[in-house]
Amino acid sequence: MTTGTRRARIAVHKFSSCDGCQLAFLNLGEPLLTLAETVDILHFAEAGPIDEEAEVDIAFVEGSVATSQDAARLRGIRERSRYLVTIGACATAGGIQALRNLHDADEWVSGVYAQPEHIDLLADSTPIAETVKVDLELWGCPVSGEQVLGATKAMLAGHLPRVDHSAVCMECKRQQAVCVMVSQGRPCMGPVTSTGCGAICPRWQRDCYACYGPAVQANVSALATHLADTGMPADEVARRLLFINGHAEPFRAEGLDWQARVITRQGSEEEQG
């Protein structure tokens, strides 16, 4: 990236989210302070600087688009940014709040808010890329601060980084982690989930819950069938898929398929009385 003699400018924007991805970036600590000596961080509400209208070289975006105001603000950020990078599951795949896309959100709004007429929700909560062009997507819930830092350095050096989307299973092998699916029978989502986390859950004897989104060539159908064959009820299989990255294909299609099986089975059970 060439910026002439001036320092590169960076902004970190928030949309519908929990701030966890901003905190993951902030928690880098010393490496972030070192970065701040070489770039100008103009907008990063969690860290202090606020200038949402700033023109920047790199805009990081956390959160999904949930309202028409979100969409308008996002288009403005896109116009004022050279590179736009999504950080985390909310920005990249709609996040946990995209679960409302599968239900009647209006009904929920009426149930939660005393004056629902003041809530201006879009029909769906969507990833950033469904509204504006995105140059780079970094997944995770939260995103890895190291991954954001590495991507920043790559862009400052003039290129977009290559993001590894091989399965978490590959990372387990690289880290010599014992497989929790084989050794403990845990319902691990690692075979269909993109790495980027360093296989942190399996390394702590926990099953992966797919927070880094779908891996390349993920055979989601085979894993879902395996989970059901090991005794997991169909509604739980659907929940494993329609979770943090439930708006992302192929998790969405497979999850809806398993949800439909539950509805069909319940219908035939009711018919049989």
Site residues (vs ligand SF4, CB under 6 A): 17-18, 20-21, 62, 88-90, 95-96, 141-142, 168-169, 172, 177, 179-181, 188, 190-191, 199, 202, 208
Nearer to ligand SF4, 94 or 156 (CB): 94
CB of 168 to ligand SF4, least distance (A): 4
Rounded least distance, CB 90 to ligand SF4, Å: 3
Residue whose CB is less far from ligand SF4, 22 or 81: 22
* For ligand SF4, the closer CB: 8 or 43: 43
Beta bridge partners of 219: none
Residue 143 CB, shortest distance to ligand SF4, in Å, is: 6
> What's the min distance (Å) between Cβ of 123 and ligand SF4?
20
Residue nearest ligand SF4 by beta-carbon distance: 190
Q: 67: which 2 tokens?
A: 């309202």
DSSP strands (E only) in 34-80: 39-44, 56-62, 65-67
| 208 versus 234: smaller Cβ distance to ligand SF4 | 208
The residue among 54 and 98 lying less far from ligand SF4, judged by its C-beta, is 98
What is the C-alpha separation between 122 and 108, in angstroms, rounded?
Answer: 14
Cβ contacts of 97 within 8 Å, gap of 6 or more: 16, 64, 66, 90, 125
- Tokens coding 219: 């055979």
Q: What is the DSSP letter of 191?
A: G
Q: Are 128 and 15 in contact (CB under 8 A)?
A: yes
Distance separating the N- and C-terminal Cα atoms of the chain: 67
